[in-house]
Structures are given as structure tokens and as C-alpha cells.
């Protein structure tokens, strides 16, 4: 996939660029390749999701990927993501964390997870020359787990690598670190950055009175 597969996918990108759009036929071809990649990784003992990830890595960048994202993202965000979160919630049995030792383990895992991402990303930013406030903001945003964490622990539960108790603890950790990202970012960076004009105000126009630029929106 990384060598021969990447070259075989180049004509798809060229076809999209030549037509100026991703036709239904081209979209169908990409979805068939996605299903095939998922099937192969599942058949060889790796979870099917990694086939989709690998195909995405090898897909030629440009109009093809932009149009595929535009066409697929709505159904993914509106339908598939809520279904996945619901599925993860149904698998979560918080009643298994029913003792003080297990609760202590959960708090320990939460503390280690925060140190491993928030602390490590803060340190990396500082070593890269960022000031302390910016480094804290980077650490606060990077600390969120969200979807990728849930995908990995669901795979672990399905494969029997982790049990229901550890799964519940890990889901709780993913939820807490994701929910805390926004408020923590505002506390350590966002609020002061908006007061100083480094970031635009949330939900308002840009500083010049017009629409915020894409770069400011991303920030």
C-alpha cells in the first residue's frame, strides 16, 4: 500500500482533477477500495479500521480527497459518529468500578494519561521555544482523547485484551480528558489571548469587522 498501492491510486486523483469533480463512479471506486482494504486487514487478524486508515494515508491529496471528505463527512458526523458513541456507551458498565481500590486505579490512570499528553506536549512545546502560556494551551488541546481513544479501547475489548472494568475506566478517562480540554484551554491560554487580540472572540466577527479568516477560525 505504501509503495505500489500509492502509485496505483494516483490515476484516481488525476481523474478527479481532469473532471473537476468526484463523479459517482469515482466515489464508488474509492468506497469499494475502502471496503476491500478493511476486509483484508480484518482477514489477516488486524482490525478492519486500520485498513481504512492505511487507504487514507495512501490516497493522493488534492481535489479527490477534498471532495470525498465533503461528500462523506455529513453522513459520518450526523449518523455514524453518534452510532459509534452510542455503541461504546452500551458497552460501558460503570457499575464494575465498585470498590475504592478500583476507583483509585481509575484516578491513577486519569492522572497518568494527563501527564502523558498534557505534560509531554507542554514540555515538547517549551523545548521547541514556545512561551509557557502557549505551551500550556497546546498541552490542554492535545490532552483530549475523543474518538481515537474509543476506537482503540473498543478493539481491545472485542479482542479480549482488556475486560469490562478496564474498558469502563478507559472510557471515563477519555470522556474526562476530552470534556476538560475546552475549559482548560480557556483558562491557561484562550481567555488572555482574546483579551490581547491574539485570538478572535468566539462567535463574533474578526477584528477588522469582517468575517474571520480561515487561519483565525482554525486557531
* 8-43: pLDDT as tens digits: 888 888 888 888 888 888 899 999 999 999 999 989
Residues 119 and 74 in one domain: no
Number of domains in the chain: 2
Is residue 86 in a domain?
no
Query: From the CB of residue 172, how many other CB atoms can be counted at a distance below 10 Å?
Result: 16
Is residue 209 in a domain?
no
pLDDT band at 111 (very low <50, low <70, confident <90, very high): very high
State how far Cα 186 lies from the chain centre. 20
Residues 75 and 104 in one domain: no
Residues 99 and 72 in one domain: no
Rounded Cα gap, residues 169 and 103, in angstroms: 9
Residue 127 has pLDDT above 70, yes or no: yes
* Helix count and strand count (H, E) for the chain: 12, 0
Is residue 160 in a domain?
yes
Residue 204 has pLDDT above 60, yes or no: no
Helix/strand/coil (H/E/C) assignment for every residue in 60-73: CCCHHHHHHHHHHH
The answer to whether 106 and 173 have CB atoms below 8 angstroms apart is: yes
Is residue 166 in a domain?
yes
Q: Which pLDDT does position 144 carry in this prediction?
A: 87
Q: What is the C-alpha radius of gyration for the chain, rounded to an integer number of angstroms? A: 21
Residue from 83, 84, 105 nearest 165 by CA = 105
Of the listed ranges 35-44, 83-92, 114-123, 208-217, the least confidently predicted one is 208-217
Residues 137 and 45 in one domain: no
Residues 172 and 197 in one domain: yes
Rounded Cα gap, residues 135 and 114, in angstroms: 15
Is residue 88 in a domain?
no
Residues 73 and 153 in one domain: no
Is residue 87 in a domain?
no
Q: Which pLDDT does position 62 carry in this prediction?
A: 86
Is residue 45 in a domain?
yes
Helix 132-142 and helix 164-185, axial crossing angle in degrees, nearest 10? 140
The domain boundary residue, chosen from 79, 113, 130: 79
Residues 101 and 196 in one domain: yes
The answer to whether 117 and 177 have CB atoms below 8 angstroms apart is: yes
pLDDT tens across 42-66, in order? 898 888 888 888 998 888 888 888 9
The answer to whether 188 and 140 have CB atoms below 8 angstroms apart is: yes
Residues 8 and 59 in one domain: yes
The domain boundary residue, chosen from 50, 79, 108: 79
Rounded Cα gap, residues 191 and 212, in angstroms: 18
The answer to whether 153 and 87 have CB atoms below 8 angstroms apart is: no
The domain boundary residue, chosen from 79, 109, 129: 79
Is residue 89 in a domain?
no
Residues 161 and 110 in one domain: yes
- pTM attached to this predicted model: 0.67
Query: From the CB of residue 143, how many other CB atoms can be counted at a distance below 10 Å?
Result: 24
Task: Print the domain residue range for 17.
Answer: 4-79
pLDDT: which is higher, 18 or 195: 18
Amino acid at each position: 500500500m505504501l509503495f505500489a498501492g500509492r502509485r496505483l491510486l494516483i490515476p484516481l486523483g488525476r481523474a478527479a482533477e481532469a473532471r473537476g469533480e468526484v463523479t459517482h463512479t469515482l466515489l464508488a471506486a474509492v468506497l469499494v477500495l475502502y471496503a476491500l482494504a478493511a476486509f483484508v486487514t480484518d482477514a489477516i487478524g488486524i482490525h478492519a479500521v486500520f485498513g481504512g486508515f492505511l487507504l487514507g494515508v495512501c490516497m493522493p491529496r488534492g481535489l479527490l480527497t477534498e471532495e470525498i471528505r465533503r461528500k462523506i463527512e455529513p453522513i459520518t458526523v450526523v449518523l455514524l459518529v453518534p452510532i459509534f458513541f452510542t455503541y461504546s456507551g452500551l458497552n460501558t458498565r460503570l457499575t464494575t468500578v465498585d470498590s475504592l481500590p478500583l476507583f483509585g486505579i481509575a484516578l491513577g490512570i486519569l492522572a497518568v494519561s494527563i501527564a502523558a499528553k498534557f505534560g509531554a506536549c507542554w514540555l515538547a512545546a517549551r523545548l521547541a521555544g514556545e512561551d509557557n502560556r502557549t505551551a500550556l494551551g497546546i498541552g490542554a488541546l492535545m490532552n483530549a482523547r475523543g474518538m481515537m481513544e474509543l476506537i482503540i479501547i473498543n478493539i481491545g475489548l472485542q479482542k479480549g485484551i482488556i475486560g469490562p472494568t478496564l474498558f469502563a475506566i478507559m472510557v471515563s478517562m477519555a470522556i474526562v480528558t476530552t470534556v476538560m480540554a475546552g475549559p482548560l484551554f480557556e483558562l491557561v491560554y484562550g481567555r488572555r489571548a482574546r483579551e490581547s487580540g491574539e485570538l478572535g472572540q468566539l462567535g463574533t466577527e474578526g477584528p477588522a469587522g469582517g468575517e474571520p479568516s480561515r487561519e483565525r477560525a482554525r486557531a
